[in-house]
Amino acid sequence: MGREGGRGAIVDLYVKPGSGSFRIEVSGDEITVFCRSPPEGGKANLEIIKQLTKIFGSEVALVSGGKSRVKRVLITGSTPEQVRAVLAAHSG
């Protein structure tokens, strides 16, 4: 699901932009993020960062995948175990 990244947890996400609403699905070690914004001009990336920041209450940064559906994010101040618990609570 994720790994320790010095300042927090690094997590891989599969993103489905242009969805009806923002939601997260967790299935095993896979995390799928559905976002409303289109995949153009960084709009989907901004929505994902904004929503994850709201969910975790800490800084979230895009590490890689700016132009890909597979993204890697750093969630500051969290462990992989904490990320798993929070995302599971917000899944569905």
CATH number of the domain bearing residue 37: 3.30.1200.10
Domain containing 19 equals: 2-90
- pTM of the full structure: 0.89
- Residue 25's DSSP bridge partners are 32
Express each pLDDT in 38-47 by its tens digit: 999 999 999 9
pLDDT at 54 over 60: yes
| For the chain, percent of residues with pLDDT exceeding 90 | 82
- Taking the C-alpha atoms of residue 88 and residue 91, their distance in angstroms, rounded to an integer, is 5
Contact residues for 22 (Cβ-Cβ < 8 A; gap 6+): 33, 34, 35, 36, 47, 51
